[in-house]
Amino acid sequence: MIALDVDGTLVDHDGHMSSPVREAAQAVVAAGHEVMIATGRSLNAALPIIEQIGIDRGYAVCCNGGVTLRLHPELTDGYEIIHKATFDPGPALRALRMRLPTAKYALEDEDGNFLSTERFQDASFGVEAIGVDFQTMLEATAVRVVVFSTENTPEEFNEAIQHIGLAGVTYSVGWTAWLDIAAAGVTKASALENLRDNLGVDVASTVAIGDGRNDIEMLLWAGRGVAMGQAPEEVVAAADEVTKSVYDDGAAHVLRSLL
């Protein structure tokens, strides 16, 4: 069972997947391994990557564990959602707005729509965000909340969030002043563990590759957790090994070792 992060692992930060990475991923899929995407991206932004590496049956984890898909060519659209973890975003949003009033906020609701302030848009959403007022966001049921600040460094952003002390949710800070929030206890690892258990795969036969702080739990979960070469120190510390960076096709080196 092989869990693959997308941004910073399979694709670079411009969204490009190199030929060596694509070919290695396709080869591992063709070899019959249980290969699955485990990404912070929402469903519609994850599907093109799933298609690109040739997964037409199996499973995928989106929204940092908030949404799990089953993939099969006989299904309508080629997939079905088999699990969705929702939460009340109100308390976290209110606390964040007090501390980070100039940040941009976006929310994926239970129907897969994105609501946003200030026409906040990102490729990871997979759909065009709908501009709403903050009160509307507070009243929504969320699968994923995203907060982005152009006025803070990631360190300042992290400090502000720790000062708030977010309760009842799971969160991770990204490369930039970017925050992803999911339901309490929901991570890529929690969703992957459910799949591992259902599939009857031994823990020792699990591999995960990732580069971000939202991959830490996944790397600790895997029997073989591999951090990308450009990963932050705390991500490297959670891994069993480190491969080359995304710009040196680090994921391809790991995937070829599984053939």
Same domain, 131 and 117: yes
Model-level pTM?
Answer: 0.92
pLDDT for res 82: 96
- With residue 241 as reference, give the H or E element that holds it: strand 241-242
CATH code, domain with 153: 3.30.1240.10
Final residue before a domain boundary, out of 135, 163, 183: 183
d(CA 211, CA 249): 13
Per DSSP, the three-state class of 53 is: coil
Do 130 and 143 fall into the same domain? yes
For every one of its 259 residues, what pLDDT tens digit does the chain have, with 9 covering 90 and above? Answer: 999 999 999 999 889 999 999 999 999 999 999 999 999 999 999 999 999 999 999 999 999 999 999 999 999 999 999 999 999 999 999 988 888 888 899 999 999 899 998 778 888 888 889 999 999 999 999 999 999 887 777 777 777 778 777 777 887 777 677 888 999 999 999 999 999 999 999 999 999 999 999 999 999 999 999 999 999 999 999 999 999 999 999 999 999 999 9
Residue type, 36: M
**Domain assignment of residue 163, given as a range:** 90-183
- Does residue 197 share a domain with residue 69? yes
Q: Report which of 172, 181, 180, 195 is spatially closest to residue 36, judged by C-alpha positions.
A: 195
What is d(CA 166, CA 163) in angstroms, rounded to the nearest whole number?
9
**Two tokens, residue 132:** 């709403």
Q: Which amino acid is at 97?
A: R
**How confident is the model at residue 175, as a pLDDT?**
66
Phi, psi torsion values for 48, nearest 5 degrees: -60, -35
Which of 242, 25, 6, 255 lies closest to 124, judged by CA?
6
**Of 4, 183, 168, whose CA–CA distance to 83 is shortest?**
183
DSSP state of 20: H
CATH of the domain at 22: 3.40.50.1000
Domains of the chain: total: 2
Upper half-sphere CA count for residue 10 (Cβ side, 13 Å):
26
The domain boundary residue, chosen from 165, 183, 201: 183
Strand, helix or coil at 220?
helix
Whether residue 204 sits in one domain with residue 176: no
What tokens appear for 10 in the block? 């399979």
Asked if 84 and 110 touch (Cβ cutoff 8 Å), the reply is yes
